[in-house]
Structure 1
Amino acid sequence: MAPAVARGTIQRAERFPASSRTPLCGHCNSIIRGPFLVAMGRSWHPEEFNCAYCKTSLADVCFVEEQNSVYCERCYEQFFAPTCARCHTKIMGEVMHALRQTWHTTCFVCAACKKPFGNSLFHMEDGEPYCEKDYVALFSTKCHGCDFPVEAGDKFIEALGHTWHDTCFICAVCHEELEVVDFPV
């Protein structure tokens, strides 16, 4: 069995000359005597390897396998290729699925630095995706003492108009940790 091919991957059949080998055609299941094609792990009579929709010969052109049939690039693009959420063109090849939409891998980018995410983690803010670095730089609360982010689960103090890690709120003279006492107002 042939290895799985990612959806929308453009492929090409390989031509073989007539030989002592007599493969069975993937279309008509008859013995092939003479030149033949090999595509998708099967052999084909050259005249029987055609686009499932427009019947164009795929012997010397690229094709895409979809739903157990083969299509020329034009028919695949027209009937099956998803549309990119950013550039609104058809996606031929690798597809990124994110935020319940499809994207070219080069179109799904950080709202700040515009670099593609690939398979990296991203964060959402105001409906826009951000890479980890830009999200932290733009949106995280930073400790006034150490300038590192105050993350979920960190113990922190809000004092003197700033946010501090509890261990960073220290005396400027002796560097001892200070304890915050709430006085009734």
Structure 2
Amino acid sequence: LRSAADVVAELESLARTCNRCHQPFREDELYVALEGTSWHQGCFRCAQCLLSLDLNEDFFEVDGRFYCKHDFEVLYSPICTKCNSFIVGKVMKSANYCFHPDCFRCASCDGSLDDGAWCVDGRVALTGEARQLLKNWYCPRCFDKRCETCASCHKPIDKERERSTMALGKKFHVEHFRCAKCGVAFMGRHHFEHNGKAYCEEDIVQVDGKLYSFFFLRYALYRSGGGTIKNRPCCGQPIGGGSHTHCTYISHWLFTP
């Protein structure tokens, strides 16, 4: 006698049909059951090349379609930027670049950057442990060693994505080079040095009384339509020479039409 369970199992088997050919399975026939679908072994094929899939080898499923390893890699797997081989499994991404986790390493110290956080884009909205420079990736420690430091914020200046300026014998982010009095960024405008600090045109005349007379004199000459100044009031030396701090700016700005 057969049990009720055996009868139910047989009926369920007969009710099943192959997902590919839609034919029922023979009694006691071995078939493939995956993701709620059933297949004759001969019908279980790669959706791309149509070759039979060997159950003892790797195959992959995408949106209910099954692929052999070769076609899955060609169709869906990114290529590692470092080793140029297909990536199957976890992918580390930075902008349009992809890496195997073990290939995503600092170009300087070879330390792993696989910590779950990486560059957001190639120019770097940076997070976590990765920094990009000239298509190389660095850990923060090595990246900082390769960059000049802003004299204002004391952070590295990324030449790939940040503008910088040289002033007072130091490097600054453009937006961090500011007037020592009012705090407004120069952003390429003229600045004036006094006692190792930079000032804008409006504030230097308040900080340095001598320069106030120079501004007034230049303005008066401009309004009168001409006039020449042969010697600097600050040091008495001819315009175009002298080493006085003020002389540099008088020559290049105050007495330039």
Query: How high is the TM-score relative to the length of structure 1?
Result: 0.56
Map 1:68-107; keep pairs closer than 5 Å.
68-107=64-103
Decide which moves more: 83-92 or 21-30: 21-30
- Give secondary structure in 2 for the equivalent of 1:27: coil
**Residues 41 and 141 of structure 1: is their aligned pair in 2 closer, same or farther, counting only changes over 3 Å?**
farther
Q: Does 1:108 align with 2:112?
A: no
Paired residues of 1:95 and 1:104 also in contact (CA < 8 A): yes
Distance 2:109 2:135 in 1: 16
Change (3 A) 1:96 1:181: closer
Please give the per-residue CA displacement for 1:94-151, whole angstroms capped at 9, x wherever unaligned.
Answer: 33222312222222221122233222321223442112233245436399xxxxx934
Cα distance in structure 2, aligned partners of 1:114 and 1:41: 45
Which residue of structure 1 lines up, in the alignment, with residue 44 of structure 2? 49
Over 3 Å counting, the alpha-carbon distance change for 1:100 and 1:159 in structure 2 is same
**8 Å contact 1:77–1:90 — kept in the other structure?**
yes
Q: Which runs of 5+ in 2 are unaligned?
A: 1-8, 118-127, 157-166, 171-194, 198-206, 209-244, 246-257
Distance in 2, matches of 1:181 and 1:133, equals 30
* Structure with the larger RCO, 1 or 2 (CA within 8 Å, 6+ apart): 1
The answer to whether the 8 A contact 2:168-2:196 is kept is no
Q: Distance in 2 between matches of 1:160 and 1:59?
A: 70
Displacement of 1:49 in angstroms is 0.9
Mapped to 1, the partners of 2:64 and 2:92 lie a distance apart of 22
How many positions carry a matched residue from both structures? 141
User: Secondary structure of the residue that 1:44 maps to in structure 2?
Assistant: strand
Q: 8 Å contact 1:110–1:130 — kept in the other structure?
A: yes
Structure 1 gap segments, 5+ residues each: 1-18, 144-148, 153-157, 162-179
- Structure number with the higher helix fraction is 2
Inter-partner Cα distance in structure 2 for 1:86 and 1:76:
21
For residues 181 and 103 of structure 1, do their structure 2 counterparts lie closer, same or farther at Cα, with a shift above 3 Å needed? closer
| Residues 77 and 141 of structure 1: CA distance in aligned 2, closer, same or farther (over 3 Å) | same
Note if contact 1:46-1:59 (Cα within 8 Å) is conserved in structure 2: no
Cα deviation for residue 38 of structure 1 reads: 2.6
- Higher-Rg structure is 2
Alignment partner, residue 25 of structure 1: 18
Measured against aligned partners, the alpha-carbon deviations of 1:28-87 in whole angstroms (never above 9, x if no partner) come to: 445545322233343322221111233222142221224642221123334443322212
What is residue 64 of structure 1 aligned with on the other side? 60
Closer/same/farther in 2, CA of residues 30 and 103 from structure 1, 3 Å limit:
same
Q: CA RMSD in A?
A: 3.7
